[in-house]
Amino acid sequence: MDTLRGVVGLWNLGMMLVALATLLWFGYWVFLRKFLRARRIANLRLRRIMDENTSPVIGDDRPGE
């Protein structure tokens, strides 16, 4: 009977570890994807702003500024 309790205890521990690993993987997957997407959008926005600031303005005929 004690052997059965030990096996059941190990089984429960294993199931808890699997559940914890699944929750951690899910959180990592969801939040990491959101973070990477937000960073990519911010980088694209910054690149567009930098391109707008460095490109010459059409119709600006002022000398050497």
- 8-61 pLDDT per residue, tens: 999 999 999 999 999 999 999 999 999 999 999 999 999 999 888 887 666 655
Q: How many domains does the chain have?
A: 1
14 falls within a domain: no
pLDDT bin (cut points 50, 70, 90) of residue 62 is low
* Residue-range definition of the domain harbouring residue 39: 23-54
Residue type for 42, please?
A
| 20 or 2, which is more confident | 20
DSSP state of 58: T
**pLDDT score of 52:** 85
* Residue 9 forms part of a structural domain: no
- Note the pLDDT of residue 64: 54
User: Does residue 1 form part of some domain?
Assistant: no
In a domain, 49, yes or no: yes
Q: Compute the distance between CA of residue 35 and CA of residue 23 in angstroms, rounded to an integer.
A: 18
